Amino acid sequence: MKSVFLKTLLSAAKFPAFLILALFFIFPIYICFNVDALQNTLADMFSIGTMLSMIGSFFSLSMHFGEETTGWNKFLLTTPVTRKQIINSKYLMTAVMSVLYILMSTLPSVVLMIKTTGFDFREWLFIFSALTGICIFMLSFTIPISVKFGNIAGSVIFVIVFMAILSGVVIASALLGKNEEILSAANGLIHTDKYIISAAILSVCVVLTVISLLISRAVYKKKEF
Amino acid sequence: MNAIEIKGLCKSFKDFKIDDLSLNVPGGCVVGLVGENGAGKSTTIKLILNLLRKQSGSIKIFGRDNVKELDSVKEDIGVVFDECCFPLELNPKNLCSIFRAAYKNWDDEAYTGYLKKFELPEKKKIGSFSRGMKMKLSIAAALSHHAKLLVLDEATSGLDPVVRDDIIDILLEFISDDEHSILISSHIVSDLEKICDYIAFMHKGKLMLYEEKDKIYEQYVVIHCTENELNSIKPEAVIGRKVGTFGAEAIVLKDNVPKDIQSYPVDIEKLFVFMVKEST
């Protein structure tokens, strides 16, 4: 597994520095410094966080599952590295990288909290777990497709699923937003202990990841090069 | 002990199949897999390395099953594909770190030695290397973990004669150790003629001939004669023929050549071309 990690890290080090800086730091920090000027609410910060973490997850997906062109994976399979190890390490790295992006993406929310009501760990955990939930859902859906059909197909599916979710949310809020019953149910959900909601979301994330990992392993075991 | 042992190997695709292929790579020997483009050489190599899944038959590497026990023998195999598979954004020094983590027997000194010998810059991006440099780098990587078996798929194709000769020299040096074996595929027969102990001809997914190179030279000859003279030879002794306005050229079994017809030593390339044409 170490060789797979090393390859990814060494390849990442060759990426244009501005791109990594932009993705990791410039966007979130820029928003942090403009929280007052933008007069945003926590919900707006959450939307920005969602966009940032999505970009991060997409970047991470392309980085770890986009190596078919050079035949590196084919070659790696002739070394003592096993198919299982390749998939495990790619999942691990994608997860670690995505979580780092998500943590950075919560920064604007933290800054806004500090400047307004004060830092609330429970609120932050809720935002973090919600962003993680969205990203893990996207990735666990997309990675097995990338493994089976290649990174281009995976990326297209990623974008399609994201657009579908986004459209679904917009349409649902337009249609159901004025429905009193739904609004009161949503209100009730918001007032549920955020620790419980966060724990539930993170548990679902773990289950989704494990299922996705098992599917990808099964696909990769039969993959021909 | 055979380094590779293939029995009754079958694999079908939509428009092509490897059909009941049986082939051995004896320990300490070089086996050349010859065939035209699309004959099934690369497919056979991928099946050996379990990059393609066989449908039936068995493949053993150092006596171990190539699917269930491949991981236990990968340490002893060095592989060179026809294209450089290394990440183009990395340099040879980066590769060294990666392979050090992958192979237990990785030898930094040997790798650095090969890089110097091949005049490959350690810190230059692989993407900026020429095809010859990339091939040399692939061979350096394949040789630096003390592999006992080298599997080379069209490693010399598309290279200039000087680089090809360099690579042949490296392979000859590798095979000087009695424990080392090589399976090399190519359609450049002259390269294989220089180093192979055994020649395996593949055509349309089938093994047409598998023989010791020296026995091929002993058994077959080229003759130039008239069409009538050629017809007087037993048909089963004629491997391939070319009849033109000025007479006939054929490859025949040496023992069946009439004394009044002059014969010449056969070369592997001519034998291969005649066999393929005779079969179609």
Backbone angles phi, psi at B233, to 5 degrees: -85, 140
Contact criterion met (CB < 8 Å) for A10 and B97: yes
Of the ranges A14-18, A20-24, A104-108, A170-174, which is most confident? A104-108
Environment class of residue B127 by beta-carbon count within 10 Å: exposed (0-12), middle (13-18) or buried (19+)? middle
Confidence of residue B89 (pLDDT cuts 50, 70, 90): confident
Is A218 a residue whose pLDDT tops 90? yes
Q: Write out A56-99 in H/E/C secondary structure.
A: HHHHHHHHHHCCCCCCHHHHHCCCCCCHHHHHHHHHHHHHHHHH
Q: Does B102 touch chain A (CB under 8 A)?
A: yes
Q: Give the CA count within 13 Å in the CB-facing half-sphere of A26.
A: 7
Mean of the per-residue pLDDT values of chain A? 81
Is A39 a residue whose pLDDT tops 60? no
Of A6, A72, A225, the CB nearest to B101: A6
Distance, in Å, from the CA atom of A51 to the CA atom of A214, rounded to the nearest integer, reads 28
At B13 the pLDDT is: 92
Q: What is the pLDDT averaged over residues A188-204? A: 82
At B17 the pLDDT is: 92
Q: Which residue has the higher pLDDT, A181 or B53?
A: B53
As for the ipTM of the complex, it is 0.87
Confidence of residue B54 (pLDDT cuts 50, 70, 90): very high
Contact criterion met (CB < 8 Å) for A72 and B49: no
Other beta carbons within 10 Å of B39: 24
* DSSP element (H, E) containing A181: helix A180-190
At A67 the pLDDT is: 62
Q: What is the pLDDT averaged over residues B132-139? A: 90
At B68 the pLDDT is: 87
Confidence of residue B94 (pLDDT cuts 50, 70, 90): very high
Distance, in Å, from the CA atom of A142 to the CA atom of B258, rounded to the nearest integer, reads 71
Contact criterion met (CB < 8 Å) for A80 and B75: yes
* Residue A113 identity (one-letter amino acid): M
For B11-33, b/e burial (b = at least 16 CB within 10 A) is beeeeebbeebebbbbbbbbbbb
Contact criterion met (CB < 8 Å) for A224 and B53: yes
- Give the global pTM: 0.84
Q: Between the CA of residue A12 and those of A16, A67, A143, B47, B89, what are the distances in Å?
A: 9, 13, 19, 32, 9
DSSP code for B237: G
* DSSP element (H, E) containing B46: helix B41-48
Locate tokens 């410039």: which residue?
Answer: A26
* DSSP element (H, E) containing A162: helix A151-176
CA A33 to chain centre: 24
What residues does B185 pair with on adjacent strands? B33, B153
Model pLDDT for residues A62-75, shown as the tens digit of each residue: 777 766 667 888 99
Q: Which residue has the higher pLDDT, A36 or B148?
A: B148
Of A70, A80, A225, the CB nearest to B51: A225
Contact criterion met (CB < 8 Å) for B85 and A75: yes
At B162 the pLDDT is: 84
What residues does B253 pair with on adjacent strands? B220
Model pLDDT for residues A135-155, shown as the tens digit of each residue: 898 889 889 998 888 888 888
In sequence order, the 6+-apart residues with CB closer than 8 A to the CB of A162 are: A54, A138
Of B50, B77, B83, the CB nearest to A71: B83
Distance, in Å, from the CA atom of A133 to the CA atom of A128, rounded to the nearest integer, reads 8
Q: Min CA distance, A61 vs chain B (Å)?
A: 17
Is A177 a residue whose pLDDT tops 80? no
Contact A146, A94 (CB under 8 A): no
At B142 the pLDDT is: 94
At A20 the pLDDT is: 65
In sequence order, the 6+-apart residues with CB closer than 8 A to the CB of A80 are: B71, B74, B75, B102, B103, B104
Of A7, A80, A225, the CB nearest to B74: A80
CA B121 to chain centre: 28
Confidence of residue A22 (pLDDT cuts 50, 70, 90): low
